[in-house]
Amino acid sequence: MPQSKLFSEVSIPTKSGAGLQLRNRVVLPPMCQYVVAQRDGIPTTWQLTHLGSMAHGGFSLIITEATAVAPEGRISDRDTGLWNEEQVEAWKPITQYIRSHGAAVGIQLAHAGAKASTYGWLEDIEAAGKVGSISDDDGGWETFSASSTDIFGLKPATAMSVEQIQESVQDWARAAQRADAAGFDLIQIHAAHGYLIHQFLSPLNNQRTDEYGGSFENRTRYLREIVSAISAVWPEDKALGIRFSGEDWVEGGWRLEDTVKLSKEMYDLGVRAFDLSSAGIGAYAGPTGPGYQVPLAQAVKQALPEDAFVTAVGAITDAIQAEQIIVTGQADGVSIGRAALGNPQWPNHAAGQLGAKKAYPVQYWRGRW
């Protein structure tokens, strides 16, 4: 049987030249878990168990749920954060455990902007009729965005001043320093799904008339400043990545050609890992079906230098399907999200189907692989 491309080793380049070595090309993408201690952004044994099981399952790179760079940047009051030292200490045993089982570990740094201060998507909350923005009585907080436009069906956000934007950039840099202290190998900047960076990028939300609005150059300025600030403090032997919504799928919104252009600029600033999702602003009007977002990853991959690590995500559930994406050069890796929730051993089972080496812990040797 020919060697599996999906289960070949790969390296994400770093400034030092050492590269972040991955045992295969199967990545666990960020998925919100809505479990924290004290509602203060502190990860718990849930994250240790949940993410640790994915390391047991053979994933090569495990990326945490969206982790807020500031308290007001949380999607909900049940989201993890990285704005203080207590959170750093709580993340340390999690990163250590993941690496001890052969996987690299990344953190998705995020700010929800106008989509912050919402109730977590949990059955008990929804059963109580709590949806949308957290009420003031329940501890909701003021939200901020590129503009004060209300297109999310949530309480209106406050347009950020230039001074607030500049302070926010420093929040990202300080969170990057804490990510290093907590033991993460990679940072993924969350610029997708209608959250704050995406709110600056998309003309659907960004109605500013200053240097942070209007033209492509101005709407992308906030992100460029974030990447530059993170690069200045992030160690040269660690990897830097980003997640984009490749398309808004809405007329007048952010388009794939914008993503391709900005990806090239991000590469020039030192970003080497690119994960391509889509949508998040406006009602979804895009395609559906298996691998529906793969063409977005393919377009970015074709535009970037060969050493960029581009991953596809979205309705990728089958080992043959994932292998085909890599073999045909549509992407360098695949992000397996929802399928992994049902089967944390997805990579090991896929390796078995493809005749590749599995990466289960020795304690699981009795398993029927």
- Per-residue pLDDT of the chain (369 residues), as tens digits, is 579 999 999 999 999 999 999 999 999 999 999 999 988 999 999 999 999 999 999 999 999 999 999 999 999 999 999 999 999 999 999 999 999 999 999 999 999 999 999 998 887 777 778 889 999 999 999 999 999 978 888 999 999 999 999 999 999 999 999 999 999 999 999 999 999 999 999 999 999 999 999 999 999 999 999 999 999 999 999 999 999 999 999 999 999 999 999 999 999 999 999 999 999 998 889 999 999 999 999 999 999 999 999 999 999 999 999 999 999 999 999 999 999 999 999 999 999 999 999 999 999 988 766
Q: Which residues contact 354 (CB under 8 A, 6 or more apart)?
A: 1, 4, 6, 7, 319, 320, 323
CA dist., res. 67 & res. 32, Å (int):
9
Taking a C-beta distance cutoff of 8 angstroms, is the pair 322, 337 a contact?
no
Instruction: Out of 34, 97, 195, 364, pick the active-site residue.
Output: 195
Does pTM surpass 0.85?
Answer: yes
Q: What pLDDT score was predicted for residue 257?
A: 98
Task: Give domain limits for the chain.
Answer: 10-364
User: Residue 308 corresponds to which tokens in the numbers above?
Assistant: 């960029």
d(CA 213, CA 346): 43
Residue 369's pLDDT is what? 67
Angstrom distance (rounded) from CA 57 to CA 169: 36
C-alpha distances in Å from residue 95, one per residue of 44, 61, 233, 343, 354: 12, 11, 20, 21, 29
Which residues 6+ apart lie within 8 Å of 362 measured at CB?
none
Examine the residue annotation and report whether 97 is marked as an active-site residue of this protein: no
Phi, psi dihedrals of residue 146, rounded to the nearest 5°: -65, -40
Terminal CA-CA length for the chain: 18
Q: Does domain 10-364 have CATH number 2.30.40.10?
A: no
What pLDDT does residue 1 have?
52
Q: Give how far Cα 202 sits from Cα of 130, 132, 151, Å.
A: 29, 22, 12
